[in-house]
Structures are given as C-alpha cells and as structure tokens.
Structure 1
C-alpha cells in the first residue's frame, strides 16, 4: 500500500500543477467555467460550477492510478463527470490521450479552437512529476488492492478557485477565503468496512512569488492500517516527564494532547445560528469561519484549531475521506455530528465514525453520498469527548434531539 501512497503523492502534485496552470492566464480561465446541472450541484449553493481544471484533474488521477495499478481505476469515484460542453454546444468527453499532441487536439475542442492554450495544458497534463517522502521507505504494508476504493475531490472550494483572491490575510493562521482555501483531496478507503486508510491533501496555492506571481504548494498525507499509523506532519507527542518528542511512524498511535481550557473551532460561513451560539459559549472568540470543507479539515490536521464542526448535510464522501484518513493516522478522526448528539456517553458506545462505502438510501443525485448527519473532525478523542459534553450542555434540548 505504500507504493499506492507514493503514486498518489505524485499524481496529486501533477493535479496541483494543472490547477496552477489553469489559473495563469485570466482570459484563458474564463473559458473554463461551466455551470453544474441539476443532480450534480451542491444544494448549498444556488449556482454551483465545475471547471475544466476539475475535470482534467479527476481524469488524470483515474488514468494515472489505473496505469500503475490495473483494475484500480474502476474503484475511483469523484465529484465531477468527465463531460464538458463548449460554446458551440458540442458535448465532449474529456480523457487523457496517449500523447500530448492528441490530448491537445481534444482540449482544443473544449476551448473553442484556442490551440496555444490547449497545447500548453496538454504539456502540463503529460509532464512527469516526482513527489515522495523518505519516511515511506521505512514502511512496507501489504494489502489487497481489491478492497481499496478511492474518493477524489479534484478541486475543493471551486468558488474560491474561480474567484482567485490572492491577497487575503489569515486570522491566527487560518484563511477565511482565497486561493489558499483550495485543496485537492484523494482518500482511499476499505470497500468492505468503509474505513478510511490513506489520505492525501494537496494545497496548490500556499505562497506566491511577488516577482513571478507563480504559486508554490504543500502536500499532506497520512496512512492508517492494521495498527500502523504514519503521517507527514511531525506533531509533538507529550511524554510523562513533560518533554516532547516528534514521531511520524508509530504503532497504535494515539497522540492525546491535554484537554484545553478553551477549545478552538473552524466553521462554515453558512453554519446554523444555534450551533454558532453554542460554540461561542464553548470556544469564546476562538471560532474561525473559512471556505472549503477540505481546507477546514486541513486546519485541524495542521493543529491550527481543535475542531472542525459542520451541522448540515452539504459535505460529501469526497470532501472528507482524505482528511479523515490523515486524522486517523494522528490518533483523531471524523464523526457524525447528529449521531454524536443523540448518543448516550454513559453506555460507552464507540464514536460514530464517518464511513465511505455505502450510499444513503431514498435519495438521488449527489445526496446519495452526503454526510447527512453533519460532522466533527478532531485530533484527539479525549478532546472530542470533552468538547461534545460542553456542546450538548450549551445546546437547547430540541437541538440535541434533531
């Protein structure tokens, strides 16, 4: 499975290069936007868009992984369809061809004959990319490829990607909006149990060179399988004598931090008022609105906040699988908020982790794969238990039981 992770790291960087390339020229970028149809769009938004970059990224990931691991492609699912319609009304099925020249010709049909742009994009699509981590060399994990499924969100926070704000200032390290909130999410899960196993989050737009205006990114990953947990962030693990050491490879990792006196949380700008009111009593002023489910989850992974909470059903399996896997490798996880609020902690029941293998019943379209009970992402179970206790105390009884 470490070979699969290595491949995912490489293809995530190829995807990040595509995302950056499609933003280089504003005139070109305006050609790349298409409104999603009913059944595809997120009901959270009146208008939801997909971009050519979204579709290209998803198709490149599928083909790259299928080429290296034959048979895996059929188990890769994502947010976008691979059909695009150009200004002439022609419906084109996008795919990565065997050569850059052939891919350029196909892209030219989407871009209304813009040959220069098509050729430039094709070169990026076929460019070799290397991105690895020496930590992976120390681990060999064997797992049957047949039980693996993959969720892909090719460009999470598409609206921020389209808007393209580059000069947003962070609040305590957290960007409320802007290109920094854009992420590429690849999550691997067990198709038998639904548990997340591998997560890769690529953040294409982290810092910009003010002279060249080119962006640099950052990639985060984690693997959690059969008691082995490994991740790309060196987080401090408290020791009994008060000193701290850093570890990236552990067995049965459970890096519990001390429970904070006041929690911090990142939330959606569309969060319900009753949840925000309760959070203000639990977190005080340490509540940070931000765009993008992937980015908000990443804020928890990075340790910028303790909790990401969202009470609505407008995140999806492709939004959460990658971050969930990374958090599991760090001793945390991602749970169903509604089920947590309804759970009796005195019974000692396990926390209701989000699962990724079964669709919701009695719904259609993308709602089949929504996280219908909302979610809480966390790094420490001890912190989560304390947070839930305080949250329930500060919610009205009707809010807890809905």
Structure 2
C-alpha cells in the first residue's frame, strides 16, 4: 500500500504540472476547450467543458499506474473519454506513449499540427516531478492490487480552471471560487465492496512563489482493515455555541438552503465551486458539512476525498438514503457498481445526492433538520 500511495502521489504531481503548463500557455489553452455533448454532458450545467488537459492527465495517470501495477489495468477509470476531436474534425484517441517523441507526435495530431504545443505537453507528461514528500511510513493493508480499482478526476471544477480567476487563499477560510478549486483527484476502492480505502488530492494552484509561478499542495489518506493514516490532522472542534457550518452549491434547492440556514444560522451557510473542493473544505475543517441533494456528482468526484474523510473518522453518505434511516452513517457511498439503467456518465452518478461530514454527531443533527424541511 505504501508503494501504491507513493506512485499515486507522484502521478498526481505530474498531473498538476500538466495543468499548470496548460494555463501558462494562454493561446494554447484557448484551443484546448471542447464542449461535452450527449450522454457525457453533466446535466447540472448549461455548458460543461472537457479540455485536452483533462484527457491528457487522465491517460497519463492510467499509463503510469498501469505500468507499475499491471493487474489494475482494467480497473483504472476516469471522468473523460480519451477521444478528442481536433479543429479539422478528425477524431484522435489520446494515449501516453512509451517515449516523449511518440507522445508529442500523437498530440500534434490533436493540436492541428502545432508541434511546439505538442512538444510542450509531451515534455510535461514525461518529465519526472520534483520529489514529493510522502512521509507515508510502512502502511500495511492485506489487499493486493488485483483487488483494487481507481477513480480519476483529472481536473475537478473544470469551469474554474478554464475561467482562471486568481484568488488569494486565507488561512482558515473557505474561498468560494477561483483556480484553487481545481483539483486532481485519485481514489482507490475495493472491487468487492466498493469501499474507498485510499485517496490523493492535489491542488495545483495553491499559492504563487516569489517568482510568480503557481505551486501546489497535496493531501492523502488511507482507511482500511483498521489502518487509518492521513496527511491532514483532525481539525479542532469548533468552540461551543458557534454552530455547525455547511457548504453548498449555489444551485442547491431552496428548501435545503432554508433548513440548513435554520440549523446553522445564515452566516454559517456558505457556497463554493467544485464538489472536490467543497469536500476538501470539510476535510480541512473549514466546514462541518457539505450537503448536495441532487445527483450531479459522480464516483470520480467523491472517491478520493471520501477516503480521506474515512481516515479522519468521517464519511460521505447518500443524501436520499440517509433521510430515510435512523442510522445515516450506514448509507455510505460505494464505488464499484454502475447504475445499469442509466446511460453514459450517469451510470456512475451519485444519484441520491450526498452529505460529507467529519463528525457523526454533526451528520445526525443535519439529517434530523433536513428531514423536517417542507
């Protein structure tokens, strides 16, 4: 497990480098945006974009993890189709090749013959990142790679990534939007049960160094067979009387907003972009709950941060199921079975919505309030 975690941390940092390279080349970035259509379109948004950065990052992670752990090859899944249509109307299947030169040649076909841009991307894909401080110790979990699967969200909050607003993060404060909401998410689950057991989150745009270049930050967690380890310390409990803090999507249903405002107080209900970022806010103790009543997130959004929450004693439950049970903790999301009645991306939707939490008492209090909503 320590070996797998180290590989995931390394490829997540490689992915962050690719994301940063794509944003640094503004003329290139404008060419990379392509609208999703049909069954791959997220119903929540009027426009939902996929970028070449998304596809390249996903296939890079699949390539390197599959090379290290070939028995996982058929169970490394991601958000994006690896088919990309270039400006000439040609469909190209994006893969990572054995050499930088071969990858550049393939990307050149996607980029309408732009050899300079293709070479830049290929270099980022094949370049080893700076050493990643894992400090994972000797994690020992009695599962082989052949028992595990992986969910990849190459760039969560793609719209924030595309828009590219640069916000200054304040220590201890949730920030509602901006580049920092764009995350690389890699989650590991048990194929037999769907239980999330390992997660890596990389935030490529955490801060700017003195030279003005973006630097990132990573987080990881493991929870399986009694083993719990996390790069994040358990946040301190809020001072007594301060009330619960909830983070929501701005598009959340009015009844849910009203119920949580009554429970938490209007000033303790905030809004932020990106499902992964909102769950990260719970992990970091910037919010106590993330509530989403609709099925607009997917397994690749929640698998990685779910593993971190479990490592800290929390979890992510199905919103709809948790409303109908006296023990909401039992409605944990799982990651191994598609909804075969659905099509395209919706097969892997968290269709019942979700509630992410650190403290079980906070979960119970929130579910009680939500059960009373009109």
TM range (shorter): over 0.9
SS of alignment partner, residue 305 of structure 1: coil
Structure 1 residues 323-347: Cα deviation after superposition (integer angstroms, max 9, x where no partner):
100000000000011111111x2xx
Q: What is the CA–CA distance in structure 2 between the aligned matches of 1:77 and 1:100, rounded to whole Å?
A: 23
What is the aligned length? 373
1:96 corresponds to:
96
Q: What is the CA–CA distance in structure 1 between the aligned matches of 2:171 and 2:222, rounded to whole Å?
A: 30
Structure 1 residues 121-164: Cα deviation after superposition (integer angstroms, max 9, x where no partner):
11111001255445312433331212101111100011111111
Distance 1:168 1:129, change over 3 A: closer
The unaligned stretches of length 5 or more in structure 2 are none
Shift of 1:386: 2.2
1:304 corresponds to:
286
Q: What is the CA–CA distance in structure 1 between the aligned matches of 2:105 and 2:230, rounded to whole Å?
A: 40
2:262 corresponds to:
281
1:383 has 2:365 as partner: no
Distance 1:237 1:39, change over 3 A: same
CA contact (8 A) 1:259 1:383 kept: no
Q: What is the CA–CA distance in structure 2 between the aligned matches of 1:212 and 1:221, rounded to whole Å?
A: 28
1:326 has 2:308 as partner: yes
Q: What is the CA–CA distance in structure 2 between the aligned matches of 1:370 and 1:281, rounded to whole Å?
A: 29
Q: TM-score when scaled to structure 2? A: 0.95
Q: What is the CA–CA distance in structure 1 between the aligned matches of 2:187 and 2:94, rounded to whole Å?
A: 23
CA contact (8 A) 2:235 2:285 kept: no
1:48-67 correspondence to structure 2 within 5 Å: 48-67=48-67
CA contact (8 A) 1:86 1:112 kept: yes
Shift of 1:236: 5.3
Distance 1:258 1:2, change over 3 A: farther
SS of alignment partner, residue 3 of structure 1: helix
SS of alignment partner, residue 198 of structure 1: strand
Q: What is the CA–CA distance in structure 1 between the aligned matches of 2:334 and 2:283, rounded to whole Å?
A: 19
Q: Which has the larger radius of gyration?
A: 1
Structure 1 residues 325-378: Cα deviation after superposition (integer angstroms, max 9, x where no partner):
0000000000011111111x2xx5752000111112421111111111100000
How much is the aligned-residue C-alpha RMSD, in angstroms? Answer: 1.9
1:9-24 correspondence to structure 2 within 5 Å: 9-24=9-24
Q: What is the CA–CA distance in structure 2 between the aligned matches of 1:219 and 1:125, rounded to whole Å?
A: 18
Q: What is the CA–CA distance in structure 1 between the aligned matches of 2:328 and 2:41, rounded to whole Å?
A: 36
Q: TM-score when scaled to structure 1? A: 0.89
The unaligned stretches of length 5 or more in structure 1 are 239-256, 397-402
